Structure 1
Amino acid sequence: MVFNPSLALGEAYMDGKLTIEEGSLQDLLHLLFQGLDALDGHPVQRARAKFARGQSQRNHRRRSQRNVAHHYDLAGALYDLFLDQDRQYSCAYFTDAGQTLDDAQAAKKRHIAAKLLLEPGCEVLDIGSGWGGLALELAQSANANVTGITLSTEQLAAAGARAEAAGLSHQVRFELKDYRETEGTFDRIVSVGMFEHVGPQDYSTFFQTVGSRLKPDGVALIHSIGRMEPPGGADPWISKYIFPGGYIPALSEMIATVEKAGLWITDIEILRVHYAETLRHWHDRFQERRAQAAEIYDERFCRMWEFYLAACEMLFREGPLMVFQLQLAHRRDAVPLTRDYITDHERQALADVPENVRHRA
């Protein structure tokens, strides 16, 4: 516990060696995260974090695919237990108090679409396309042609089936491909929840790839978890059990590599508590269907997943994590000079949503 508290605490909970007699796991984690700054400042922890960052491995193509498979190729039925209807597995965008998870995820997609300044017929590259929800939304709402790439075979199959069922196979296609293997150029590039899997050694490669694939008058939007503090190491428990090869960047790391790629940062937005609220919804939904999760896997897996969702919520609610949205372009005038266009687009897009869909449970 002293030398590696995250790993020891998580494993103790998974193995049933840690029991909570009063209160909940969230109560315990909330208490512990109140002292996170003091713990991180301890010489032992500073040395461990520095060592961990120095030991992080490059996520070459084969390793990246193995890391993705570890998490995203789990049974689709598991994700149906706690995600929204569209299987959005990234930070939602809560615009109103008491908003449902489905509505907040729909608001996130509208927010991203607004920043992309889509036009009919736009060629869009979606890096890390997941189960295809965002790609399908951009095709339906903006009549865009979208190429989604993923390293998850499970997500690829599900996304392709969704495109076919929606009658959008002529507009949306999904490929099992690493971002470094993409060819051609695109009017828009979007990446949501994928940059956390790139690794600091490949940041330059990532943004150089974005720059080379983005047309001269194009716009890109990168949505990523980030930290509000200087660069650090990966969490040992998360790295071992949840996201091997994952790394949460500091904004300073991202900006330094964007500058070297010769791209303009035309907008930066920091989403602070939105992911904490998203994770709270996910945790509560998972708990409501926990028995079904145990049928898919086992009790130890369920305890692991509980710890994952609860700990991540506290990292966003009490710890140093947030979400960055970076809008990038080759030209300084690729987007309007004020941000009014974002709100205008979102309001118009929301007005176009049927009332029965807008307020679904």
Structure 2
Amino acid sequence: MISLFACFPESIASFSPEFTVNTWNLRSLSQVPCSLGHGFRFPRQLRRLRTILTCSDSSSQSWNVPVLSSSEVIDRLKQARKGQQQFLAMYSSVVDGITTDPAAMVLPLDDHMVHRGHGVFDTAMIINGYLYELDQHLDRILRSASMAKIPLPFDRETIKRILIQTVSVSGCRDGSLRYWLSAGPGDFLLSPSQCLKPTLYAIVIKTNLAINPTGVKVVTSSIPIKPPEFATVKSVNYLPNVLSQMEAEANGAYAGIWVSEDGFIAEGPNMNVAFVVNGGKELVMPRFDNVLSGCTAKRTLTLVEQLLSKGMLKSVKVMDVTVEDGKKADEMMLIGSGVLIRPVIQWDEEFIGDGKEGPIAKALLDLLLEDMRSGPPSVRVLIPY
């Protein structure tokens, strides 16, 4: 049980002796007599009030919660962020500026994205001083914002310029740029009608490119998949994705695979999937109609043409794929900006193909890495440091 107490540094005049102790239960304050006879009033001394939350349990612990000045808050934020050097720069349209101090990389609590999930986001990789597929990711977040009915705080070119400048200020040559569009701060109501204006946030994170061709296990996710009308929006509401990932990890797997109500394979929690079938000669990818249109997956469909020209594959299809067909595939792989191309060697209790990493997944990973490091200007934007 939790009780609220008022704590005073000294006795307060006009209160009866039994209440001039240092700590009183506020539930008893209504019984405190007042010398003027007009009911209970807080005297001037109560300006020095401090509140204490006391838990009436076996430990009888008490916590003093300090009231901090703005400078004290900043000092504590700096201490809390000490050693977190991976956050290199952040832009916020709330202050209309860029900061390189991790302690200042904060969002308003009343931002509609924070307390209602009314926001969208996207990510672009930073590879050797270039932003990979920035335009493609930017187009997607603008589509997501339109579907989420979030007005743009700036036009497309201004947003792009801000993102590039944020990376430039960070000095990061290898990492990731994550950015959000939100309905903005205003109040804590359900409707965004009182939000002051939409907001743009962006942060540069120093990371190493996750190149790991080792095969992994996946499981069929039991977490309900997002409705089709929301699955194609890259919103900040990732609770189903988080629960799916936690379920997979609890079962010793790398990721969970969502299956639609009609039995077709959908996607992973933050990646698309693809299969090699028909004796290793055909690449098949589930339709993007009811799943997130992955930029890396779509780029892979372009790069795979090189495998067709070499005779490693005979055809490529985007079509409905059943779980039964997927588990019988010669190869299975996860595709996304966070995993690149990651082979899957086991789904639930069944091995995929011979239970080893396949040649097509490796070839696609090599093509993707080459494209990220030396691809055409259409997929690589140079950062002016």
TM range (shorter): under 0.3
Greater RCO (Cα-Cα under 8 Å, separation 6 or more) = 1
> Which structure's residues are more often helix, by fraction?
1
Question: Which protein shows a greater Rg?
Answer: 2
